[in-house]
């Protein structure tokens, strides 16, 4: 059956019926510009700006007393943000804390949960993972006096873009101590079946951890229900916390009370922290896995940003995200046949995260042309264009306009004036 042609009337009707229409006004958007890179850095919202301004004002008015007397007391801000984040990942509030970055949090949780002994000495990961996760894994293996070549398993991809859960499960053996995988693959946008992988790992006695960088704020999770042991994430992508915004971590309640692998000042039970004892009394919540003093001004924007998720609901965010990416894929087939584009992301909704992955031999030069034409895309070496239509601030008509600008670039070979090589930051 032939699909109906998508027209401007089609998308305008979708926008008229879209309950997210009002949310677009919450964000700072450039006129006649289409921002498709929210999976790398989300846009500033007015509420995030207000929350940051409040903390700045608290610093100005209260100085040191801001730790307890601020409008949002700094001493408890990490826990409050953790509580506001918990519903996005299906966790109990005390299982979540706002702290660190993905890499520092990974080091913390690997140091806590990776205890190679006997035959169980290996970490199971994949060959498509983001480099920094692999850097952290290798570092932790080496800290145990082991060789990454012998103790890191990276599951291979059959097509260079996606993974098969069956291939991952096949590698789960009695010599594997810990599993660390991305929830969504950063290039292709493939959403892995976290529940299936966690259950398979636990049957083999393997600790299961996930990096939620490309899924938190884009798709719902049920980490506690699924029994995931730990997870980490950043907040500057779909959660719109700002550049370098403080990340977060989750530790399943069955592990709470466990001594953190990397103890620090804010690992403490808050009631005992200022007793100044040299013997740590760890928090009984996920707060135990904090290390240093919270970065207040890089955390505060989340207080405002997360309000939008509470109002919209993560299920509704996911529903619109899927409609936007489906529209983008349909328009690819309608407007761009014969121009050399291949969709490398999964086509099925239940397998796709929040962005669309285009593979093209001239991806780098096409991205440069898109920027010239008022579209902010994302390039990933060697040949991937990622476009992320964000539920809060992307309309259906925006998606049509982006795809028509891409078609114009290809029809008129506008990308040919640019070198097909990445910039300093891709």
pLDDT digits (tens, 9 = 90+) for 372-397: 999 999 999 999 999 999 999 999 99
Task: Take residue 120 and report the two structure tokens written for it.
Answer: 């169980």
Class of residue 24 by CB neighbours under 10 A (exposed 0-12, middle 13-18, buried 19+): middle
Return all residues near 43 (Cβ < 8 A) that are at least 6 apart: 27, 28, 29, 35, 240, 390, 393
Contact indicator for 307, 322 with CB cutoff of 8 Å: no
23 annotated as ligand-binding: no
161 annotated as ligand-binding: no
134 annotated as ligand-binding: no
Reference 113, options 182, 197, 176; nearest CA is: 176
Report residue 425's pLDDT band, with 50, 70 and 90 as the boundaries. confident
What is the per-residue pLDDT for 1?
Answer: 63
What is the per-residue pLDDT for 426?
Answer: 73
102 annotated as ligand-binding: yes
For range 19-44, the mean pLDDT? 97
Output the average pLDDT for the chain: 97
236 annotated as ligand-binding: yes
* Beta-carbon count within 10 A of 347 CB: 10
In order of 85, 161, 237, 283, the CA distances from 30 in angstroms are 28, 32, 18, 44
What values do phi and psi take at 360, rounded to 5? Answer: -155, 140
Reference 393, options 245, 240, 219, 246; nearest CA is: 240
In order of 54, 99, 108, 247, 367, the CA distances from 133 in angstroms are 34, 17, 12, 14, 26
Task: Take residue 11 and report the two structure tokens written for it.
Answer: 């998308």
Return all residues near 288 (Cβ < 8 A) that are at least 6 apart: 256, 257, 258, 259, 260, 267, 282
What is the per-residue pLDDT for 3?
Answer: 83
Contact indicator for 358, 342 with CB cutoff of 8 Å: yes
214 annotated as ligand-binding: yes
Reply yes or no on whether the pLDDT at 327 is more than 90. Answer: yes
Distance CA 30, CA 292 (A): 37
What is residue 270's DSSP assignment? T
Domains and CATH numbers, the chain: 8-31+313-409 (3.90.1150.10), 50-311 (3.40.640.10)
Distance CA 247, CA 183 (A): 16
Task: Take residue 410 and report the two structure tokens written for it.
Answer: 């290809």
Q: What is the pTM of this model?
A: 0.97
Segment 395-414, tens digit of pLDDT: 999 999 999 999 999 999 99
What is residue 27's DSSP assignment? B
Reply yes or no on whether the pLDDT at 251 is more than 90. Answer: yes
Reply yes or no on whether the pLDDT at 282 is more than 90. Answer: yes
Reference 294, options 322, 264, 315; nearest CA is: 264
What is the per-residue pLDDT for 2?
Answer: 74
130 annotated as ligand-binding: yes
68 annotated as ligand-binding: no
Segment 24-33, tens digit of pLDDT: 999 999 999 9
293 annotated as ligand-binding: yes
Segment 336-359, tens digit of pLDDT: 999 999 999 999 999 999 999 999
Distance CA 76, CA 294 (A): 9
Reply yes or no on whether the pLDDT at 214 is more than 90. Answer: yes
């Amino acid at each position: 059956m032939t699909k109906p042609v998508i027209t401007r009337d089609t998308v305008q009707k979708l926008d008229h019926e879209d309950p997210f229409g009002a949310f677009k006004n919450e964000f700072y958007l450039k006129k006649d510009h289409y921002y498709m890179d929210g999976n790398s850095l989300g846009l500033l919202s007015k509420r995030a700006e207000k929350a940051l301004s409040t903390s700045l004002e608290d610093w100005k008015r209260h100085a040191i007393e801001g730790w307890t007397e601020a409008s949002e007391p700094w001493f408890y801000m990490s826990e409050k943000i953790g509580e506001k984040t918990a519903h996005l990942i299906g966790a109990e509030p005390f299982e979540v804390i706002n702290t660190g970055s993905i890499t520092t949090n990974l080091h913390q949780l690997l140091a806590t949960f990776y205890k190679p002994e006997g035959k169980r000495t290996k970490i199971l990961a994949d060959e498509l993972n983001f480099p920094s996760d692999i850097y952290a894994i290798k570092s932790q293996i080496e800290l145990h006096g082991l060789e990454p070549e012998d103790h890191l398993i990276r599951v291979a991809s059959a097509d260079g873009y996606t993974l098969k859960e069956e291939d991952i499960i096949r590698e789960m053996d009695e010599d594997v101590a810990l599993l660390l995988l991305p929830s969504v693959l950063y290039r292709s946008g493939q959403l892995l079946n976290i529940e299936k992988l966690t259950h398979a790992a636990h049957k083999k006695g393997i600790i299961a951890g996930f990096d939620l960088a490309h899924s938190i704020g884009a798709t719902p999770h049920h980490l506690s229900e699924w029994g995931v042991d730990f997870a980490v994430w950043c907040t500057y992508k779909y959660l719109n916390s700002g550049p370098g915004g403080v990340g977060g971590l989750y530790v399943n309640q069955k592990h709470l009370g466990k001594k953190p692998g990397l103890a620090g000042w804010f690992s403490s039970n808050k009631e005992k922290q200022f007793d100044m004892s040299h013997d740590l009394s760890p928090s009984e919540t996920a707060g135990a896995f904090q290390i240093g003093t919270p970065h207040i001004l890089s955390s505060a924007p989340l207080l405002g940003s997360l309000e939008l998720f509470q109002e919209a609901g993560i299920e509704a965010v996911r529903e619109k995200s899927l409609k936007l990416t489906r529209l983008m894929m349909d328009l690819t087939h309608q407007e761009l046949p014969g121009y050399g584009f291949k969709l490398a992301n999964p086509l099925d909704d239940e397998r796709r995260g929040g962005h669309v992955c285009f593979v093209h031999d001239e991806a780098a030069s096409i991205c440069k042309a898109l920027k010239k034409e008022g579209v902010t895309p994302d390039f990933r070496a060697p040949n991937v264009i990622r476009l992320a239509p964000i539920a809060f601030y992307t309309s259906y008509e925006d998606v049509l306009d982006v795809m028509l600008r891409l078609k114009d670039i290809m029809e008129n070979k506008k990308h040919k004036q640019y070198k097909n090589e990445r910039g300093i930051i891709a």
